[in-house]
Chains A and B, each alone.
Chain A
């Protein structure tokens, strides 16, 4: 890595650099791995994630594609079925809709409809989320939507460790894995161990422990939720924060253990409220931990509106720390 070493074994890095290092590491580790997508090579990546990789790894491993999302996603599926381990970068979730046929009708179904003869060990990465004033067509958070689909796995790395470590584990998975990188996290900086490597992808993580309420979230909303928990602590409310990490499958055990302990839950999800992942998590709590609850489950989701361009309206449309604080107080019956 190119980052300055500030102390032995720990580096200062960013989410963007952690993802880049994960890609570089995977390609060097396994000759079957290659990355393809729009503007990943000569341009250096829409969010500069892949900057420098073309020069270092060459055009066979860092393959620029035309604007043919369905075509090159399908190419990733076929290459995976024929023994490669492709990483397809779809730039953003917004453009993934142009590849939805291949993701849903092919990648997610082939193992099943072939009676287990063909698997698709493909990883698809894409940016997701609002917050950069990119307006209604470039600000979707559809990861919860993809989590509806049997046959797919859906990951949402929120920390530097997960940005660095989830990719390799996903590549080792025999089934298609979608990785959603929230656009607001790419500039996030922090410390990372120099030997940081693959991480598990099947468990949620308790990012903050607390006794009074469980805040269940993922991706870009994790840091707003932690900020809310810190503010609440100053008022004597100890919130437990769960980072789901994987939206499909969901780690029910970690959720229920926490909710059973705190007896209250608020779910924070940048997806729109109706038919959201938050609705799924909430319903699972009702199914599995209803008798442990002392209060109705709360939700902080995006408002039911396409994401607007002006900053103040965009901010109001998606989950923010004050809304999370207010939802927690409502669940606790506190003023």
Chain B
């Protein structure tokens, strides 16, 4: 376990909280997988399994006024940010009680109350958006930090490079968090990048950067604290690469022909939850009943979320064309 460089918070209470938040995402998504097989959840669904330490390490460090832009693999980010599990689950069901009124689904979780700007399902598409949010804050001289999550696949997109350049050129308060899980869908990093050390790309834009073991929540938290502090104090961007791994398939339609089961198994042994739990046990900071207690709390919350989603209602078809414009400018079916 990496020792945090500053303000180490290794209290039992804090460590158990980190553990619980990761388990909360994992169990929520395990249930989502089950609900998908029951056809309660449809469409594309991308699970965060294995990458939980990234969201859990970074998002709690943000202030309420800060902004988050995420990808289509964003259930974890939304839950850690405080979007209620009930409305997240209802969104995945497509019910109008969902956090995006049911119009978005798994890939488009939005929540204005927590400045959670999606849920962007075009790889790299959220990056320019984060530049604009930060530009508005820069012009208005605020100290808000915009954190933009994206994967290693996005690094191959032009929008990544345009956004990195704009953020550095204009001095915008963006924390770029690259969740490098080594695969863009099924294309390995080495097959898509001439330079596989993603962190190094920040140097081309004269941007401060750091790479961290994304399977180690304490290391991510320490790096996140340094990064957010740097962005807030300087108003300038910062690039944080979190080296992680996705245990499950890319989406529910992925047969995983592109990687060996042995590779997945090896990474599973480094999983963020096992890793922290093992470390806590080795340091006698966890009691045998702690995890079962957490799991009971979480399972109760999940049961409540499912009940909420099940009880949710389908939006009437008569309202189909709503939310296309602020006011409807088209008569129905026109």
Contacts and interface: CB of A to CB of B under 8 A. Distances in A.
Same complex origin of A and B: yes
User: In the complex, which range does the number of interface residues on chain A fall in?
Assistant: 35 or more
A166 to B, nearest CB: 16
- Tell me whether chain B's interface is mostly helix, strand or loop, or mixed: mixed
Contacts of A116: 101, 322-323
B165 A110 contact: no
A112 interface: yes
Contacts of B137: 82
A153 B325 CA distance: 9
B158 interface: yes
Contacts of A151: 324-325
Nearest to A111: B323
Nearest to B99: A115
Nearest to A202: B329
A112 B166 contact: no
A114 interface: yes
Interface string B161-196: 011011001000000000000000000000000000
Contacts of B166: 65-66, 68, 71-72, 75
B110 A114 contact: yes
A109 B34 CA distance: 30
Nearest to B327: A174
A82 B136 contact: yes
A105 B122 contact: yes
Contacts of A115: 98-104, 110, 323
A78 B159 contact: no
B104 A34 contact: no
Contact of A83 (B112, B127, B128, B136): B136
Contacts of B130: 78
Interface stretch (B6-14, B55-63, B113-121, B289-297): B113-121
A104 to B, nearest CB: 10
B29 interface: no
A138 B322 CA distance: 37
Given A101-B122, A118-B117, A74 B103 contact: no
Nearest to A74: B128
B131 A78 contact: yes
Contact of B163 (A71, A117, A252): A71
Contact of A175 (B67, B127, B326): B326
Contacts of A249: 329-330
A102 B125 contact: yes
B249 interface: no
B129 A81 contact: yes
Contacts of A83: 136, 140
A71 B162 contact: yes
Nearest to A122: B132
Q: Which of B103, B122, B133, B137 has the most C-beta atoms of chain A within 10 angstroms of its own C-beta?
A: B133
Contacts of A113: 100, 103-104, 108, 110, 118-119
Interface in B126-147: 127-137, 139-140
Contacts of B117: 78, 81, 118
B118 A84 contact: no
A321 interface: no
A106 B159 contact: no
A113 B74 CA distance: 15
Contacts of A118: 110, 112, 117
Interface string B313-332: 00000000011111101100
A293 interface: no
Given A78-B129, A115-B98, A115-B101, A175 B325 contact: yes
A102 to B, nearest CB: 6
Contacts of B112: 114, 117-118
Nearest to A63: B170
Contact of B324 (A101, A111, A114): A111
A119 interface: yes
B162 A70 contact: yes
B125 A81 contact: no
A115 B100 CA distance: 4
Interface in A56-86: 60, 65-66, 68, 70-84, 86
A101 B117 CA distance: 17
Contacts of B99: 115
A80 B128 CA distance: 12
Nearest to A86: B132
A73 to B, nearest CB: 7
A167 to B, nearest CB: 19
A72 B163 CA distance: 8
A101 B125 contact: yes
A202 B140 CA distance: 32
Given A70-B128, A115-B104, A79 B323 contact: no
A20 to B, nearest CB: 22
Contacts of B118: 110, 113-114
19 contacts: A60-B139, A66-B169, A68-B162, A70-B159, A72-B128, A73-B128, A74-B127, A74-B163, A77-B129, A78-B135, A78-B136, A80-B132, A81-B132, A82-B137, A106-B122, A112-B323, A114-B108, A115-B323, A153-B329
Given A60-B139, A79-B135, A83-B136, 11 more contacts: A71-B127, A71-B163, A75-B132, A78-B129, A101-B122, A110-B118, A113-B104, A115-B100, A115-B102, A150-B324, A151-B324
